[in-house]
Structure 1
Amino acid sequence: MTVHPSLQTYADAWTHSIESIAELVQPLVEGEWNRRTPCPGWSVRDVVSHVIGMECEMLGDPRPIHSLPRDLYHVRSEFTRYMEMQVDVRRHHTAPEMTSELEYTIIRRARQLRNETRAPDTMVRAPLGAEQTLELAMRMRAFDTWVHEQDLRVALGKPGNLDSPGAYITRDCLLEALPKVVAKEAGAPANSAVVLDVHGPVEFLRTVRVDADGRGTVDGAPSLGPIVTLGMDWETFLRLACGRVRAAAVRDRVKVDGDADLAEAILREFAVTP
């Protein structure tokens, strides 16, 4: 158990997801590690490599010294280049090497979490040499690990855990980014409201409100006259918000009421993960 209850919530969600990942990949034969996942440019091996690499960074391990190939089409920014380093360095690792490193990393991180005594506001290392609070770092690891668990489940044809603890942390992380999508990226007019109605294993109704100055906020209160209402299932919301699918590919799974042009703009900008 960690000292602070807020950290324990994230630790429990992370544990559930990373143990699910270990269970998913343990029986895979060599060829299955090369299956394509919904995460752009990444195979099953790549997703697991990323998870291992990020947990090693949480442990304070040094980053690998490695030169990336120049032909990786999905590496388009300094952030994606940073993330790719831990992935590419493991691209030729065998199935036993991958599962062994994953298992060892989980053991090390679980021990670290059990012995965690730092306050939630302690500053720790973040990607690209930045810093973030320990609470934010653990929240993002719970979010990231659950999303990648879902990537692996899609690739391997083993759906599940759509309502596990990490799902609710992911929901909250994605919803926090919606005001920017609606107000800034999609250009919703001032003094308007956009309602998001999501059903399925995780259900919620949220309203993004744009004030007179064009700033967006999100809350759980219904709107009497939304300019747009978007209805979809939880898995479609997840795939759109995480950039795993384009809106055109799931058009039949999204119900639109109201301003069609604004709805199109919102769906076009819906992806909020890097």
Structure 2
Amino acid sequence: MTVHPSLQNYADAWTHSIEAIAELVQPLVEGEWNRRTPCPGWSVRDIVSHVIGMECEMLGDPRPIHSLPRDLYHVRDDHTRYMEMQVDVRRHHTAPEMTSELEYTIIRRNRQLRNENRSPDTMVRAPLGAEQTLETAMRARAFDIWVHEQDLRTALNRPGNLDSPGAIVTRDALLAALPKVVAKKAGAPPNSAVVIDVSGPVEFLRTVRVNADGRGSVDGSPSLGPVVTLATDWETYFRLACGRVRPAAVADRVKIDGDLDLAEAILREFAVTP
């Protein structure tokens, strides 16, 4: 690949996860495409449709002209409406149509990545008519594809790749969102610290520090007197942070030490994906 070195890890993570998705869905019979996934409102077919659609947008393809049904409960705002368009337009596609389009889209995107020589700060297309840097776009695609790979694995009872390159990209993206969750949304007090202790295939300990002005930051140094410590496993962590499960459903997998009210506020605001 000729992709910029700072983008290579995102390209590698994307490739690993999207090839895993293709392998997962290739042998599925028609009925299995309708299985529910942890992603609200979406079936296996819907997730693959979303993957195809978003990668086509990275290729610069025009968006479909399509009217959405009015009864989709999970479509609540402009962002979810935007994402649903690529999904609903493929809702009645057959299994062979889905796998063929996925395979063709992967071939086209791999070719694009092999020839990618733009700098990371090049502005490219983003959802809702916005723009973003190429680095932001590639990081988002690596994150999105890995999370949806895990959605499919859950739906199909095929666990795996919890420590793959995409998992590391996802960890970093979720950690970057922690200061806002803890300091702004959950309202942790100034001059306090919250420790997140995660075990399992992706293991880490991070401290979110809230300064005197109420602004949060995250680092890898332990805190001597955290106001709250949350300990859980990696799978529970990313499922909570990606809105795939509610805190009450995994209460037995999250250990809380310290201020219970603040801990519950943090967990209520833990989901950071749209």
TM-score range relative to shorter protein? over 0.9
The amino acid of 2:273's aligned partner reads: T
Q: Does 2:70 align with 1:70?
A: yes
Please list, as runs of the form range in 1=range in 2, the aligned pairs for 1:3-14 lying within 5 A after superposition.
Answer: 3-14=3-14
Q: Does 2:165 align with 1:154?
A: no
Q: Secondary structure at the match of 2:90?
A: coil
Residue deviations 1:56-107 (CA, integer Å, cap 9, x gap): 0000000000000000000011000000000000000000000000000000
Deviation, structure 1 residue 8? 1.2
Deviation, structure 1 residue 6? 1.2
Q: Distance in 2 between matches of 1:31 and 1:3?
A: 39
In structure 2, the partner of 1:133 is 133
Number of aligned pairs?
274
Structure 1 unaligned blocks of 5 or more: none
In structure 2, the partner of 1:41 is 41
In structure 1, the partner of 2:113 is 113
The amino acid of 2:153's aligned partner reads: R
In structure 1, the partner of 2:22 is 22
Q: Distance in 1 between matches of 2:184 and 2:100?
A: 45
In structure 2, the partner of 1:197 is 197
Q: Distance in 1 between matches of 2:164 and 2:5?
A: 19
The alignment's C-alpha RMSD in Å is: 0.5
TM-score by length of 1: 0.99
Q: Distance in 1 between matches of 2:2 and 2:129?
A: 26
Q: Secondary structure at the match of 1:187?
A: coil
Q: Distance in 2 between matches of 1:6 and 1:26?
A: 32
Report runs of 4+ in structure 1 exceeding 6 Å deviation: none
Q: Secondary structure at the match of 1:119?
A: coil
Q: Distance in 2 between matches of 1:269 and 1:91?
A: 31
| 8 Å Cα contact 2:3-2:113 kept in structure 1 | no
Deviation, structure 1 residue 3? 3.6
The amino acid of 2:192's aligned partner reads: S
Q: Distance in 2 between matches of 1:161 and 1:225?
A: 35
Deviation, structure 1 residue 269? 0.7
Q: Does 2:258 align with 1:264?
A: no
The amino acid of 1:122's aligned partner reads: T
Q: Distance in 2 between matches of 1:85 and 1:140?
A: 19
Q: Distance in 1 between matches of 2:195 and 2:8?
A: 32
In structure 1, the partner of 2:212 is 212
